[in-house]
């Protein structure tokens, strides 16, 4: 929504009121919807530098970088607060830039600001209700839950009442709630925060099925404190990160029989054994009525292509980054106009099949702790490609091959 921004006296500018991004399945920072084809997230300087110096070979496997904006809280005529974005070139107000912007600190108090009793800050409660026409019950925010699609979406409000509503993923709302609570309680209303603008990689999908995978055997950056390093090492050791180089951070898969999404979060992923991980991959490719065998080959091809690219990136270490596997829960026609099976249709520059038929994609995201030779946060210069990431990709491909052979 376009709004008039008049935060500074005598300064009227056109801003965009941000909305929660309803297909966020993982991560700790809130991702916001800027427009149909663009999302935004709190700016971390190292991630911005990564996108600006991205190797050409990697561009087809990452969201398109669209620049930066500033974001601030704004009160409307009814006294309601919301987040408003202003293009940076139009923004004359001061803002503070640091290696991790003020908004990035939101995730650190996620547990404190999203208590299980539902006692969130009034602003956060209002913003969720305003964006989704209701305040979803905190009981939805658990590791295994069902999420309904627009055809028939059944959710509960804060009082346990049920109503038909649009589709959303509760994990993204939890991050959004923590985000708003942090901003409105710890920073002035007119505080400017820098955000990155990135391609909405699921905008072309009717029912986007998304698997968020944390890649690699190591998740902490070179600049992590000893306490943070120990915490991440422990998480890796207790999950499939250590033995497979990959673990599930979130998932939503469309169930065509019930017309809803099945969602799982990072806490579910951390508990999985190797066999549990394999079963979760199988579940991700099952639509409730059948296993989507036709997706296995194109997904493996894309992963093999990514593996070749990663092997060629000397000195890069993608610590704590994620990999998205995406396909459309809306099945395509049996054949393309040219007679090809949809999975064999030509690929676009970013990897999704052209013609709007089959939509299978692989994207790398979250580069706040990525390091490489010449990077701003380079504490150590590494030789060769990222062995942990390669280990994870190889195991992921092998598991998918095993699943294919068993079908």
Domains of the chain: 2-199 (no CATH), 208-406 (3.30.470.160)
Contact by Cβ (8 Å): 149, 259: yes
- Determine the Cα–Cα distance for residues 337 and 332; give it in Å rounded to an integer: 12
Mean pLDDT for the chain overall? 76
387-to-246, 316, 324 alpha-carbon distances in Å: 12, 10, 19
Average pLDDT over residues 201-207: 95
**pLDDT > 90: what percent of the chain?**
49
Model confidence, pTM: 0.76
Contact by Cβ (8 Å): 74, 3: yes
Q: Output 21 or 163, whichever has higher pLDDT.
A: 21
pLDDT at 242: 94
Average pLDDT over residues 162-185: 67
pLDDT at 168: 63
DSSP H or E run through 232: helix 226-237
pLDDT at 334: 63
Average pLDDT over residues 115-133: 36
Spell out where 51-108 has E strands.
65-75, 81-87
pLDDT band at 164 (very low <50, low <70, confident <90, very high): very low
pLDDT at 225: 85
pLDDT at 358: 62
Tokens of 313: 């990136």
Contact by Cβ (8 Å): 69, 34: yes
pLDDT band at 402 (very low <50, low <70, confident <90, very high): very high
């Amino acid at each position: 929504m376009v709004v008039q921004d008049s935060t500074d006296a005598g300064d009227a500018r056109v801003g965009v009121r941000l909305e929660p991004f309803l297909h966020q399945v993982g991560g700790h920072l809130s991702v916001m919807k800027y427009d149909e084809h663009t999302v935004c997230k709190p700016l971390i300087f190292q991630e911005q530098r990564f996108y600006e110096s991205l190797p050409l070979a990697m561009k087809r496997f990452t969201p398109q970088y669209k620049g930066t904006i500033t974001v601030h809280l704004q009160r409307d005529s009814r006294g309601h607060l919301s987040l408003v974005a202003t293009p940076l070139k139009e923004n004359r107000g001061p803002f503070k830039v640091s290696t991790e912007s003020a908004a990035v600190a939101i995730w650190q108090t996620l547990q404190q600001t999203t208590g299980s009793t539902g006692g969130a800050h009034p602003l956060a409660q209002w913003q969720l209700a305003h964006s989704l026409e209701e305040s979803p019950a905190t009981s939805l925010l658990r590791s295994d839950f069902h999420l309904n699609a627009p055809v028939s979406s059944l959710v509960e409000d804060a009082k346990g009442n049920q109503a038909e509503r649009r589709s959303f993923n509760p994990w993204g709302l939890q991050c959004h709630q923590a985000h708003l609570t942090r901003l409105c309680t710890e920073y002035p209303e007119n505080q400017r925060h820098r955000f990155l603008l990135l391609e909405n990689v699921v905008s072309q999908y009717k029912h986007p099925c998304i698997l968020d995978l944390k890649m690699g055997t190591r998740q902490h950056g070179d600049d992590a404190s000893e306490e943070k390093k120990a915490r991440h090492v422990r998480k890796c050791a207790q999950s499939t990160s250590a033995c497979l180089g990959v673990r599930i951070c979130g998932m939503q898969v469309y169930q065509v029989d019930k017309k809803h999404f099945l969602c799982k979060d990072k806490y579910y992923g951390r508990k999985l054994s190797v066999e549990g991980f394999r079963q979760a991959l199988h579940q991700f490719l099952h639509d409730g009525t059948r296993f989507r065998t036709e997706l296995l080959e194109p997904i493996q091809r894309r992963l093999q292509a990514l593996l070749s690219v990663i092997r060629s990136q000397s000195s890069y270490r993608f610590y704590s980054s994620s990999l998205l596997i995406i396909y459309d829960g809306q099945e395509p026609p049996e054949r393309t106009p040219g007679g090809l099976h949809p999975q064999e249709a030509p690929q676009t520059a970013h990897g999704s099949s052209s013609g709007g038929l089959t939509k299978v994609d692989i994207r790398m995201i979250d580069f706040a702790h990525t390091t490489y030779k010449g990077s701003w946060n380079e504490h150590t210069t590494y030789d060769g490609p990222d062995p942990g990431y390669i280990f994870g990709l190889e195991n992921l491909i092998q598991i998918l091959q095993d699943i294919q052979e068993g079908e």
